[in-house]
């Protein structure tokens, strides 16, 4: 009988003990949390005694925001504040519990890769935008001068054949010329804005020469700072036959 009563007493005692297993909810004067091992609380701090009858390395892991600053309360003696700094006075508990404030540096804007020089060719009336590369797309007359200049230009020079209609001489010629001039000045301003130190060369033949002349005249009146980056000289070339055509050739300075 004595043995039976003792056995019953042990069972009753065991039944009355509250076991807090890892993962159970725990509560303390500093807040509520979860019972975890001391090494498994990277985003909070641990409190002793809130997970009774568990091993010594099982404590109440409390995750709470700082009182007055954007950040998380951490135990600085255990968890480093990576990418930020600790500030005292914003968290409950001992002096080890401090606010981890992450540094919020703005995302840097990617810097465009700027070539030393950029050459823009403008096709003549009726010349199509065809070719294996940008120089060939400038068509025969302009591309011949561009190739000659390319031998003296930096190796990182980039080339562009202006994407405009280059309409044949006729009813659409003037509209094509005006649209081309507007596009060219837009391209030049955008290029100078992205790469302030770039040198820009422009070459135009036939209608393309008028496009270049109109665009540069507009920039000289309205955006002279952009025009400062443009290297252009004006020449007139008499082609075989009675037709006089304008030709603009880039002059290296």
Q: pLDDT tens digits, residue range 107-130?
A: 566 666 889 888 999 999 999 999
Is 8 inside any structural domain?
no
Is 7 inside any structural domain?
no
Task: Check whether residue 244 and residue 129 sit in a common domain.
Answer: yes
| Confidence label for 137 from pLDDT (cuts 50, 70 and 90) | very high
pLDDT mean over 169-192: 91
Task: Check whether residue 142 and residue 35 sit in a common domain.
Answer: no
For the chain, counts of helices (H) and of strands (E): 5, 13
Question: Of the candidates 41, 76, 102, which is a domain's last residue?
Answer: 102
Of all residues in the chain, the percent with pLDDT exceeding 90 is: 19
Task: Check whether residue 239 and residue 123 sit in a common domain.
Answer: yes
Lowest-confidence pick of 95-109, 143-157, 186-200: 95-109
> Does residue 178 surpass a pLDDT of 90?
yes
**CATH code of the domain covering residue 217:** 3.40.50.1820
Task: Check whether residue 140 and residue 242 sit in a common domain.
Answer: yes
Question: Of the candidates 43, 74, 102, which is a domain's last residue?
Answer: 102
CA–CA dist 35, 28 (Å, integer): 11
Is 134 inside any structural domain?
yes
Question: Of the candidates 76, 102, 128, which is a domain's last residue?
Answer: 102
pLDDT mean over 18-37: 77
> Does residue 1 surpass a pLDDT of 50?
no
Q: Are 66 and 73 in contact (CB under 8 A)?
A: yes
φ/ψ of residue 187, rounded to 5:
-65, -45
> Does residue 19 surpass a pLDDT of 60?
no
Is 109 inside any structural domain?
no
Tens digits of residue pLDDT in 192-240: 888 888 888 888 888 998 998 899 888 888 888 777 777 654 333 444 3
Task: Check whether residue 95 and residue 177 sit in a common domain.
Answer: no
| Confidence label for 183 from pLDDT (cuts 50, 70 and 90) | very high
Q: How many domains, in total, are found in the chain?
A: 2
pLDDT mean over 42-56: 81
Mean pLDDT score of the chain: 78
Is 220 inside any structural domain?
yes
pLDDT mean over 165-190: 91
CB-based contacts of 209, cutoff 8 Å, min separation 6? 122, 124, 245, 246, 247, 248
Task: Check whether residue 84 and residue 155 sit in a common domain.
Answer: no
Nearest C-alpha neighbor of 196 from the set 127, 116, 253: 116
Task: Check whether residue 176 and residue 244 sit in a common domain.
Answer: yes
Sheet strands side by side (includes 72-75)? 72-75, 97-102, 84-87
Q: Are 75 and 92 in contact (CB under 8 A)?
A: no
Is 189 inside any structural domain?
yes
Residue 34: give the domain boundaries: 21-102
pTM of the model: 0.52
Task: Check whether residue 131 and residue 230 sit in a common domain.
Answer: yes
Q: So what's the pLDDT on residue 107?
A: 58
Q: Are 247 and 241 in contact (CB under 8 A)?
A: no
> Does residue 139 surpass a pLDDT of 50?
yes
CA–CA dist 215, 121 (Å, integer): 13
Task: Check whether residue 39 and residue 150 sit in a common domain.
Answer: no
Task: Check whether residue 122 and residue 158 sit in a common domain.
Answer: yes
Helices marked H in the chain — which ranges?
Answer: 2-16, 139-150, 173-194, 207-222, 224-227
Of all residues in the chain, the percent with pLDDT exceeding 70 is: 78
If one compares 179 and 238, the residue with the highest pLDDT of the two is 179
Task: Check whether residue 222 and residue 161 sit in a common domain.
Answer: yes
If one compares 135 and 106, the residue with the highest pLDDT of the two is 135
Is 45 inside any structural domain?
yes
| Confidence label for 39 from pLDDT (cuts 50, 70 and 90) | confident
Is 11 inside any structural domain?
no
Do the bridges between strand 117-122 and strand 158-161 make them parallel or antiparallel, or are there none, so unpaired?
parallel
Task: Check whether residue 152 and residue 241 sit in a common domain.
Answer: yes
Q: Are 242 and 215 in contact (CB under 8 A)?
A: no
Nearest C-alpha neighbor of 200 from the set 116, 88, 143: 116
> Does residue 38 surpass a pLDDT of 60?
yes
Lowest-confidence pick of 56-65, 75-84, 203-212, 244-253: 244-253
């Amino acid at each position: 009988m004595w043995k039976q009563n003792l056995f019953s007493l042990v069972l009753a005692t065991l039944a009355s003990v509250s076991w807090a297993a890892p993962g159970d909810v725990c509560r303390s004067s500093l807040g509520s949390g979860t019972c975890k091992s001391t090494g498994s609380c990277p985003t909070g701090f641990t409190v002793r005694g809130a997970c009774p009858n568990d091993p010594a390395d099982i404590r109440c892991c409390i995750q709470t925001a700082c009182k007055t600053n954007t950040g998380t309360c951490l135990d600085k003696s255990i968890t480093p504040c990576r990418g930020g700094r600790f500030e005292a006075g914003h968290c409950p508990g001992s002096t080890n519990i401090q606010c981890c404030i992450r540094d919020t540096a703005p995302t840097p804007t990617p810097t465009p890769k700027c070539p030393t020089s950029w050459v823009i060719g403008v096709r003549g009336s009726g010349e199509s935008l065809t070719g294996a590369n940008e120089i060939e797309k400038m068509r025969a007359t302009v591309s011949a001068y561009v190739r000659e200049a390319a031998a003296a230009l930096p190796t990182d020079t980039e080339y562009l054949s202006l994407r405009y209609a280059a309409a044949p001489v006729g009813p659409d010629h003037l509209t094509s010329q005006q649209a081309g001039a507007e596009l060219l000045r837009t391209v030049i301003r955008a290029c100078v804005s992205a790469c302030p130190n770039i040198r820009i060369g422009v070459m135009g033949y036939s209608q393309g020469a008028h496009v270049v002349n109109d665009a540069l005249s507009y920039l000289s009146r309205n955006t002279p700072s952009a025009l400062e980056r443009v290297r252009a000289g004006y020449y007139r070339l008499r082609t075989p036959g009675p037709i006089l055509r304008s030709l603009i050739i880039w002059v290296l300075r």
